[in-house]
Amino acid sequence: MKATVTVMLKPGVLDPQGEAVRRALHSLGFEGVEGVRQGRVIELDLAAQDRAAAEESIRAMCERLLANTVIESYRIEIA
């Protein structure tokens, strides 16, 4: 089973990486870019067959390792 976890900084948390990308895009002439936020995407290949169990397991992975829930939010998509 394939799953995708997207981890983004929560709104309001400063994103220096995204800001650096925005500036770099401006300096390349892409003036129409008003904001950039950068996050991580983690694709998981799971042995589990049960969808509900997989989602619960992925949620535990996010809470324990994949995301820093103080400053980051995560979204789980199961294919």
73 binds a second copy (CB under 8 A): no
- Amino acid letter at 4? T
Rounded CA-CA distance 17/62 in Å is 21
Total binding residues toward a second copy, as defined by CB under 8 A? 32
User: At residue 57, what is the residue type?
Assistant: S
- Ranges within 11-70 binding a second copy (CB under 8 A): 18, 21, 24-25, 28, 30-48, 57, 60-61, 64-66
Q: How far apart are CA 9 and CA 60, in angstroms?
A: 19
Residues that bind a second copy (CB under 8 A): 6, 8, 18, 21, 24-25, 28, 30-48, 57, 60-61, 64-66
